[in-house]
Amino acid sequence: MKYFPWYFLLFLGMCILCQKFVLVAHGMPMGGYSWSQIWMRMPFYVILSSLIAVYANYITKNIIKKQISDTIEAKKRIEEREKNYSSPNTHECRVCGCCSEDFPWGEDGKSPSYQICPCCGVQFGKEDSTLESIKEYRAAWKNNGGKWFMKNEKPSGWDIEQQMKHIPNEFK
C-alpha cells in the first residue's frame, strides 16, 4: 500500500473537479454541481476513489514485482554465461580443440563469433554456450567418429587425440 495515499488523493481530486467543472453530462446542471452538493456526495467519492486507488496500487505493485523478477532472471542468465566464457585471446574450439585464425569467442572471451568450427561443426555461441552443452556436443561428435565437418580443410596427418589436448582446461 506504498502508493495508496497518492492514488487516493489523485482520484478523489479528479472526482471532485469533474463534478465541479463539467458543463453538461448525465443530467448535471450547467457548470457542474455546487460545493454543497459535492460535499453531500463526498462519501460516494471517497468510496469510489478508495476502490480505484486500491486497484491502481495492486497493479503498480505487480508491475514492480515483475520488473524485479525479470531483472533478477537477467542477472542470473548473465552470470551463467559469464561462467562459461573462454579465456581471452583463445583461438581453440571449446568442443574439439581445433585452432582457428579468428577468436571463436572474441578477443575478450565473451563475444561469440557465431562461426562454424571446420572440424566438429559447432556454431560458436550457440551449441557451446554452457559446459553441459559442450560436453554433450563433444560426446555426440566423437560417437559419430570425430569426422571433420569441412572435409576439404582437414590437415594431413590429423590426430583427434592430439588436437583435443588443445581444448581450454575449463571446458574439458
Per-residue confidence at 86, pLDDT binned at 50, 70, 90?
A: very low
pLDDT tens digit sequence for 24-40: 555 555 566 777 877 78
| Matching residue, cell 495492486 | 58
Q: What DSSP state is assigned to residue 122?
A: -
Q: What is the mean pLDDT of residues 93-115?
A: 80
Q: Cell 574439458 maps to which residue?
A: 172
Nearest to 97 by CA among 130, 115, 119: 119
7 vs 26, residue with greater confidence: 7
Q: Tell me the pLDDT band of 113, cut-offs 50, 70 and 90.
A: confident
Predicted model pTM = 0.48
| pLDDT exceeds cutoff 50 at 130 | yes
Q: Is 95:128 a contact under the CB 8 Å cutoff?
A: yes
CA distance linking residue 26 with residue 18, whole number of Å: 12
CA distance 172 to 96: 10
Q: Is the pLDDT of residue 65 over 60?
A: yes
* C-alpha cell of residue 113: 563469433
Higher per-residue confidence, 141 vs 88:
141
Residue ranges covered by each domain of the chain: 4-83, 87-172
Looking at beta carbons, which pairs linking 135-141 to residues 24 or more positions away fall under 8 Å?
137/95, 138/95, 138/96, 141/95, 141/96
The confidence score (pLDDT) of residue 85 equals 47
